[in-house]
Structure 1
């Protein structure tokens, strides 16, 4: 039976179109829809109404993006992903993995809990608690303030003194503070490794004049040289496993002493910059791995057939 895959995306960007194309080239039917369009509906056998699927459920779901919205809207959308998982539909990435990665404090907790190298990090509520952390840690190193929920380098700020701490209302009362990792620069460099189904399929170095080395802020993607790619791959795979992600973009920074530290794990990663230097088509890699999962599940569900004994 032809597998039917739901690609969850809130806009028809190049990456979403590429994923749908890669799935179709491999014989699947790909339907793209935003989570906002999927309804809980107790009149349906599954309890969900999914555009393009009628009474059927998809054979798998591939989450490209979840749009911003109110707390209630995001809770409902993630609830849809939780429901699909409860209905035994493979969801890449699962609601739980997305929640773990979107919340940077949980990501760093899971990385540290898995024994992976990551900078000392603190997430507290209220200005007084943030000042206490800053007073204790700033004599050792500058701190990096990041939005708890944020991406692509937006809202990141270097904290060198108490005066640099923003007002509580600008950070929703939550201060996520991480030791700055000193490294050579400018230019500054770090790494993005793309992991799919437990395999590092692509990686790049990002070079920028700014210490925040996101491609959308002007950093240049380059092929990696002068570092052990196997070490980077092993660390990235372990980080993706720590948060339970089927595919992920893992950000790794080299410290001045040559050690590697995991900064973030992105469960809905972009890969335009990475694709420009990658030897593989990343959409193809995701599609192949997802469809293999679907095929393996279908094979496991088939009843065993025993050969009839030969006539004597």
Structure 2
């Protein structure tokens, strides 16, 4: 099964939620008129895309319909998929040598698992990857990351529980330079986004990277649980204020009907979705393709 087929199968709850609503509007309104747009707008808002982004999508759709003189509602779905893709798309992600990837997120979103799957993805792509276990607060966090290291044949730099996370990062950078790695992925403690002292710890880690590895390209990814729906947007906004996010990893997309938030998060925060998790397998974290996702949820 190709990834697009897997995507369609795994996001079936979100697809059923969005596609069913859109199909119902198309079925009930053969003609594309003002009442059609109003019903479609309501359908998208109820699909976890949210009011503000839906308003922009509908305006874009109006313009396209007018420009192309579309009058039959059966033609709307393909046009809508294109517009949704535009709202979710971003320039391709390039991981240059060397790159430091800081991975952040609140507790319980599957952050360490996502890091293990990232190590697998980039390792399979021929990159030399190293992991830094800077989550020194949670019991067994380093051990969990070490299991992923063994599973993906990736070296893990770790300290004892309670150690200074910034010290772990410093040593990992030193080890990474000596090993001539392509990518250093840093695991951090799960943080509640309203705890300022924990956010300051992330800022300290960033200062260590800035000072010790100035030549490295930087990525900062927020791991978000897709089942939280619109709450993903508020989490992204708060983390972005402290650590300048460059991407989102959306996990558990296979288990929720709230995947419509993918269509809104970049529009509302400016931060693109970079990877999506659509299953438990090590290969089920995949780069996000906006067009494929739009077509999958409207299939």
- TM-score by length of structure 1 reads 0.29
- TM-score by length of structure 2 reads 0.30
Structure with the higher fraction of residues in strand conformation: 1
Q: Which has the higher contact order (CA 8 A, sep 6+)?
A: 2
Larger Cα-atom Rg: 1
Structure with the higher fraction of residues in helix conformation: 2
